[in-house]
Chain A
Amino acid sequence: MKRYVNILLFLLMPVLSRAQQGTTDSLQQALKIAKTDSARFKAMVALENYYAEDKRAIAINYIDQCLAIARKNGKAIDEANALDSKGYELMHLGKYPESFKYLQQALAIASDPKNEGKTWSLDKNTTPYKNRISILGSIRHDMGHLMGSTNNVDQQITEYREVKKLAAAADDRQLLGMVNMNLGHVYFKLNRVDSALAFEKEAINILNRRGYDMYLSWAYYITGEIYLKKGQKDIALQFFHKSAVQSVATNNVQVTASVYSDLARYYVSEKRPDSSLLYAKKTLRVLNDMGNKDLGDAYENLYKSYRLTASFDSAYKYQGLALLARDSSFKTTIKNLADFEQLSFKTQLRLQELEKEKAAAKTRNTTIILLSGIGILLLLSIIFYRNNRQKQKANMVLEATLSNLKSTQTQLIQAEKMASLGELTAGIAHEIQNPLNFVNNFSEVNQEMIDELEEVLKVGDIEDALVIAADLKQNEQKINHHGKRADSIVKGMLQHSRTGSGEKQPTNLNAIAEEFLKLSYHGLRAKDKSFNAEIITDFANDLPKINVVQQDIGRVLLNLFNNAFYAVNQKKKSAGPAYKPEITVTTLIKNGQLTIKVRDNGNGIPDAIRDKIMQPFFTTKPTGEGTGLGLSLSYDIIVKGHGGKVSVDSIEGNYTEFTISIPV
């Protein structure tokens, strides 16, 4: 079980076991006929190695079996090795907290000298001591990778430096070469190019030998990148070419792809489209052969190359493909960040447990300390201090990342709210203007009527006075009514822009639907005066008030109405004069669910994108017109905030109907 490449530093792809292709059948056969646990174990280790980088679920399955057999037979070193492998696989699956747990278990076992020799896999050329130290080095190497992938760079370097010492003590040439290479890459990313170069030179020196050269191409590649950063282009190109040749010779195709991609980018920057196009196409071919889906860089190089040759059709095509590829890799990033959140939470829990254990250990150990002396106490506190510090550091980084993520999310949601508020402003102005006109008009009329009232009272005409008084009263009611109407519009607008979580309160959804339907309609009218649509409302009379967060539900309805109006308006632009835009809003109570349907006779939603419409940032509107967050926020509000459901029914070219239902 020797895995050395810190793949997370590059791209997540299988590279390591290609050389062994075609051997699975014989391995499976060996496993079948194996009679002893030892033989079964060795066959499974070989199988696990084969799948280690491209079929992680299968690899984990074999690791679990290895773990069971090793434990059954008391082979502690083999157990540590299997735990290490599991930690490594889990790390690549993004399950950082679990990975950390397994690596720590492995570390505890391999650190204990008593376990030396408890293994089936002892080479003739090595000693039990060296064998254990080599395993220990591999575990800490993986621990270093884990620290790196959780952005804990200081800890990563500490681990790698420790690995260097262990690899030297164990005479593990391969591990020594790899750790130098990875140290070089870390320093390169920290922009300390001279240190990086020194490490890579040492790595190349060690790995440049038959039997050890499987990863030599990585070292050449990183060295090329370092020289490029130093501005020594000629030397950089030499190393890129060396890396390409070496990676092809050792079938290390991921390196081949990375080198081609860098070469393409380099020639784009040099404005040499012939060369850049050649390497961009090569990159794409290698990645496609590997089944690698991460094609964003390759497409970007292609489109930039085509742009240089003024082939705008092709450039446009690949620009689109690059965007799509980037979009999907962006989504993976979001998922990984979500995992961070979990890790942070679990690390917190572990820290608390550790605190508890520490307190318990303190009291329990008082007598033992007296007996065992100060030495053990010292050792214990050093271990606790180290662990604690490690975890606290990891925790701090994770918490910072989490809080960044949360604030970005808040900003995005706020941006969406402000965008829809902007669309509304004109509608709101119109909506407020109407009641204000009534308030002004009726109060002017009342002034005239009071003058009149004074005149008839002077004459003593009680009958006329009473008639005028009744009119005055009626007008005052109108003034009051329209004042309140304007008031509720302003309040609604404030609610819409307010941040933070609102409280649920009993709400008449018909009224909310009516209000936002008007706002949405007038908002669109204000932008496009030629627009008109028939609005049909079919509201259930017996609708009970239900508990909802008013501004949230308002936002959902507004979003659905805006979409509906947008859809019919789009269709109107292309359809003939016979087309009559129509929006139908229905409310009803059925099976304990309050249901609101919003239907438009617009262009409908094509089947191909039906699944995507609820995804964040998905929009069919031209760039800059939609945030792509409307439906996704609506979905969160209804499903997560109110335990309801959102569904969509549509026939392309005919209609779209959104249905939201909330339990009463």
Chain B
Amino acid sequence: MRAALFVLMLSACATAATPAVPLVDLGDVPLDPGPAVTSRLSRTQYAASVEALFGAGITLSVALEPDTRVDGLAALGAGISATSPSGVEEYEVASYEVATQALSPDRREAWMPCVPAATMDEGCAKLALASLARRAWRRPVTDGEVDALVAVTTGAMSTLDDFWDGLEYGIAAILQSPFFLYRPEIGEADPNGGRRRTAFELATRLSFLLTDGPPDAALLDAAEAGELDTTEGLEVQARRLIASPEARRGMRAWLTDVLKLDALDHLDKDPELFPNISATLGASAREETLRLGEYIAFDKDTDLRTLLTTRTAFVDRELAAVYRVQAPSLDAFAQVELPAKGERRGLLGQVAFLANHSHSTATSATLRGQAIRESLLCSPLPPPPAGVNTSIPATDAERPTLRDRVTAHLADPSCASCHTRMDLIGLPLENFDAIGRWRDDEAGYPIDASGTLDGVDFRGLSEMADLLAADPMLTDCLVLQVVRRALGRAPGDGEDEMVDALRARFETQDARLQPLWLDLVRSPMFRRVESP
């Protein structure tokens, strides 16, 4: 088994070191494009959009409607979910809260293009609203659209007898508009046949993919100047954004979505069993995972699969206590190396994985295995058929450990068909308890950390990390998860060959995120959409 593992790793390394296969030209790959998608802004995208307009530090008293996951991803839910009446109400409240803060004397100077000369300075209001609307709606605005905003604003100015109080209503209209809250994709005829996203739709899609925020002024200008009409022009902008600090935000949003890190906000652990757990452990754990993502995708610009195998970790004092490593001297995150021969390494050894996929009182081999299948291998398992007895035996002298109890349950063939695929990659993590602390035994009984991943036997987290990193399913899944986020939907049948080509290029380019992003943006799949 050891030897087999070694060979697997060696071959993965060999691929990574030298591009043996020439890169496929994405322009040559057959493509039958899929539909355009009108996505809603996520909560973080709303915040980033407001910040882009009015600067950092604007706060809301109201929580916007939660993002909806579809097939495991909020990026997919954003493309099909509707806004509820209470969600619309929250958007209204938020629009006024944002406008009030944006218009405060200490903030407005930074973004106002003019100084009002009078209470009813219509010209200045028009200038401000036209400029804001273009950026907020991520496209040129028509005279009629601006006039309607100005009419609302001057009406309010005259009622309230104040320029700024009146402008609040114009800004609120911009922020409540579906042109702001959604990213509509209508498309246009492609001179080369078929249909394509417009330059502004491309700019928007590009920016939200790479930065989880709206297009900046340079990108909108490039769209307006027709620079995005060529693949080369689009690539220039993509490279610029990837090199900007905001690209880290894009990566963070992707990783948060794929790994369900938002669930760490309400990490629910039994206080009697875990008396030392604090209310901030979940937030610390999420930040650790995101810092590791930044380190691998940006600081090192290296193989995404090392997310699983690295021994580099980013810990604050709370996480250091869980991992039993040297605590940072400051009240902040510090980079540490986990013990070279220890079991704990990579994503699977993080609190963000181990605690997020456990019960409040105990570990769950099934939940952990299911999370690996769904998030990392893109092969979620169906829920158990209803009407079957899902009990596993109680803890007793005969079956003191979770493994004993699960094994008894796996003897039932109707359960085993799915559960072996989850439980046998969850049980090897049993040395880590429900909040991710190391344990040698379970209630005094030694833990057997053996497992099986698709026919290959192994033992413990560390060996599984190597196996997963070398598993082509992981590589394929990483690409698919990026494509899903980029398109706001799952790729269609007519796009499969393009996704395969992206996978081949990803593999050849050391499985790094930045080249994958660039390839994806340059691929005709990013530009072309289905004809209605």
Question: Are these two chains actual partners, yes or no?
Answer: no
